Amino acid sequence: MKKAAFAVALGLLLVGAAVLYRAARFTSRQMSVPPAEPFAFDTAGAATRLAGALTYRTISYQDSTRFDGAEFARFQDYLRRTFPKLHARLRREVTGGYSLLYEWRGADTALKPILLLAHQDVVPVEVGTESRWTEPPFAGRIADGYVWGRGALDDKGNLMAVLEAVERLVSDGWTPKQTIYLAFGHDEEVGGMHGAARTAALLTSRGVHLDYVLDEGGAIATGLVPGIASPVALVGIAEKGYLSLELTVEAEGGHSSMPPAQTATGILSAAVARLEAHQMPRHIRGATAAMLDYIGPEMAFSRRLALGNLWLFGGLVERQFGATPSGNAMLRTTTAPTILAAGVKDNVLPSTARAVVNFRILPGDSVAGVVAHARRAIDDPRVTIRTVNESANEPSPVSPVSSANFTLMQRTLRQVAPGVIVTPWLVVGGTDSRYFDGLTPDVYRTGALGLGAGDLSRIHGTNERVAIADYARNITFYVQLIRNSTAPGP
Ligand SMILES: [Zn+2]
């Protein structure tokens, strides 16, 4: 008996020692870097040029017949007028009708080129919400230190910053060592199938292999990572896949005075409820595991203890982290019933009931795996399950954090935002970058725009705006990134 108690005590002691040892070795992964070379530019002028870009209604509508090509052409004329030196120097091509591909030929064409992505299109302003905007969404107003308008954050604040950076470097007489491509899609908000997909196919057909791809999908976030008060630069190393399933139930219609035991509506509702009750499993892996590795050491001791010892506290971390919708989205393939439709009249049994369920697929899961899961969870032959449209796509590969290019992102972000905590993370939406997976393993999604807790609802929502200071930092980020990536040519 005494021996057993002793063994238990010894066991606990060893576990405690292992936990403390691992917590002690769970040290910061942030690098110390010299600040960026000073770089002065006309911030007010750049803000005015961004404001000008926001006056163009380059809108992607779900209904493609509403697409206004002439407005995209006017926007592209504006880019030509605004960045004349860039347009004189870089080769410009159009793909898919309205997407732009620029090539800034490097001094050494044997080196792999880099690709900077952004998109020209924006989402529509929801009908009925126009009057809630402090400044009108397409007026290009500057007020209170912000540039206001649809696209300020998503994604003209990146597109224009890339162009500002290149225009400036070209006018300084700078030549990159490796070729730099800029690609600006025109249909990112509706899937990128006519823009980014064709640009990627064009580069592939030319045998291009890229050093790295940089796209939207990350920013310098404040107050968005629980347990860390200081700004955190999010570098997306993967993005989730996308799948919508349509569930339909057909039944005898008829008078509601003599209903069967189960109606089409009842059968469908039960199927949707079963999907919500049987969620895809949670996993700490890939981009999310990498993020915990990077942010864990920056947290208070108790959290560091848990995050440094996932072998013991993994379940606890999953439960705590997964308790919020945003944390949950980083841990599993999510299930979101988005459309329910049945019935036309209160005293008529519907002969058809239809639901659409949207899944965002965690890297490591697959479209086929989610379909199989849905069939198993619903387990009812009366429910027909079908993939809604061709927009289903697999999750992206996970880009390495051990690569020189991830280090390059980390270094550049810390140069332009001293003291910022850089972390890999999982982009839960989709970006155009997924089309370029085949051209390089190093696909990163970041930038130096600022994002506060209140800004998440502005993206695709009301009162989208960018702080002029953050926009200026974003321009500096691209300048510094290009300088760091490519030493000047001979
Ligand atoms: Zn976007």
Per-residue pLDDT of the chain (490 residues; tens, 9 = 90+): 678 888 878 788 888 888 787 777 788 999 999 887 778 889 999 999 999 999 999 999 988 899 999 999 999 999 999 999 999 999 999 999 999 999 999 999 999 999 999 999 999 999 999 999 999 999 999 999 999 999 999 999 999 999 999 999 999 999 999 999 999 999 999 999 999 999 999 999 999 999 999 999 999 999 888 788 899 999 999 999 999 999 999 998 889 999 999 999 999 999 999 999 999 999 999 999 999 999 999 998 888 888 888 888 888 888 888 888 888 999 999 999 999 999 999 999 999 999 999 999 999 999 999 999 999 999 999 999 999 876 789 999 999 999 999 999 999 999 999 999 999 999 998 999 999 999 999 999 999 999 998 888 899 999 999 999 999 999 999 999 999 987 554 3
What is the CA(157)–ligand 1 centre distance, in A?
10
Q: Name which of 418, 420, 262 is nearest 353 in CA terms.
A: 262
> pLDDT per residue over 371-410, tens digit each?
999 999 999 999 999 998 767 899 999 999 999 999 999 9
* Catalytic residue (choose from 121, 135, 365, 442): 121
Q: Residue 80's pLDDT is what?
A: 98
| Of 317, 320, 326, 333, nearest in space to 225 by CA | 326
In DSSP terms, 222 is beta-bridged to 452
The CA 74 to ligand 1 mean position distance, Å, reads: 20
Half-sphere exposure of 351 (CA within 13 A, CB side): 4
Q: What pTM did the predictor assign?
A: 0.92
How far apart are the CA of 151 and the centre of ligand 1, in A? 8
Burial of 400 (0-12, 13-18, 19+ CB in 10 A): middle
Ligand 1 centroid to residue 153 C-alpha, Å? 8
- For ligand 1, the distance from its centroid to the CA atom of residue 126, given in whole angstroms, is 17
> Under the phi-then-psi rule, with left for phi > 0, alpha for psi from -120 to 50, and beta for the rest, what region is 192?
left
| Centre of ligand 1 from the C-alpha of residue 102, in Å | 19
**Separation of CA 161 and ligand 1 centre (Å):** 14
Among 262, 85, 267, smallest CA distance to 169 is for 85
Q: How far is the CA of 132 from the centre of ligand 1 (A)?
A: 22
Instruction: Give dist(CA 478, CA 483) in Å, integer.
Output: 8
pLDDT value of position 175: 93
Expressed in angstroms and rounded, the spacing between residue 443 Cα and the centre of ligand 1 is 16
Length of the chain: 490
DSSP code per residue over 51-92: HHHTTS--BPPSSGGG--HHHHHHHHHHHHHH-HHHHHHSEE
Query: Which pLDDT score, from 0 to 100, does residue 490 have?
Result: 36
Kindly name the residue from 154, 187, 188, 189 that is annotated as catalytic. Answer: 188
CA separation, residue 131 to residues 135, 288, 463 (Å): 9, 39, 10
What integer pLDDT is reported at residue 489 of this predicted model? Answer: 42
Ligand 1: distance of its center to the CA of 431 in Å?
7
Residue-level pLDDT at 95: 97
Q: Which residue has the tokens 């990077």?
A: 294
- Distance (Å) from CA 86 to ligand 1 centroid: 23
Q: Is 130 a catalytic residue?
A: no
CA-atom Rg of the chain in angstroms: 25
Q: Measured between alpha carbons, how far is residue 267 from residues 230, 257, 261, 369, 380 in Å?
A: 49, 18, 10, 24, 9
Beta-carbon neighbours within 5 Å of ion ligand 1: 154-155, 216
Q: Check if 121 is active-site.
A: yes
Cα–ligand 1 centroid distance for 374 (angstroms): 29
